[in-house]
Amino acid sequence: MAKRVQLVLGQDIYKLGHTGQLVDVAPGYARNYLLPKGLAFKATPGVLKQFERRRAEELKRLAELKVEAEKQKAVIDKLATLTIQQKAGEGDALFGSVTAANIADLIQAATGLEIDRRALTVPEIRKLGTYTAELKLHAEVTTTVTVEVEAEA
């Protein structure tokens, strides 16, 4: 049986590993595919040290993003209820609906934080009333926002 080759992955490769991971692969796979395409590098002490340093920097950056998300959560949690006024007809039915973009704008107006509307999970809002929207600030940090929809005067 041929001797396996140790490589450090330069990027995530499906069913093989993640960036910076040390993997054992067949010599042909390394020689003909991974190395020529720049997807992996020979596992030398210098390359291992360089990837370890990059991984440490990435972990530090991710920790900073989480801390920032926690700060945003604290500010958003201080909000009581956000109120939005919409035109309504019979049976408290809205003309149109309240969207994630509307709620993101409300949060921004109230707190000054810029919120990505794609981070909001909003129930279908087509009537007057009180609704709860979920806001995902980070993979590990989520909060909820209460939105009250009132009729325009």
Mean pLDDT of 84-111: 87
Asked whether 38 and 79 are in contact (CB, 8 A), the reply is: no
The separation between the first and the last C-alpha atoms of the chain, rounded to the nearest angstrom, is 81
Choosing among 3.20.20.370, 3.40.50.1820, 3.40.5.10, 3.90.1150.10, the CATH entry for 5-64 is 3.40.5.10
Tell me how far apart the alpha carbons of residues 148 and 130 are, in angstroms, rounded to a whole number. Answer: 4
pLDDT band at 36 (very low <50, low <70, confident <90, very high): very high
Overall pTM > 0.95: no
Assign a CATH topology to domain 71-151.
Answer: Ribosomal Protein L9; domain 2 (3.10.430)
Confidence at residue 1, expressed as pLDDT on a 0 to 100 scale: 60
Q: Any idea where the domains of the chain sit in the sequence?
A: 5-64, 71-151
pLDDT single digits (tens) 14-27: 999 888 888 999 99
Nearest to 115 by CA among 141, 149, 153: 141
Q: Do 92 and 108 meet the contact criterion of CB atoms below 8 Å apart?
A: no
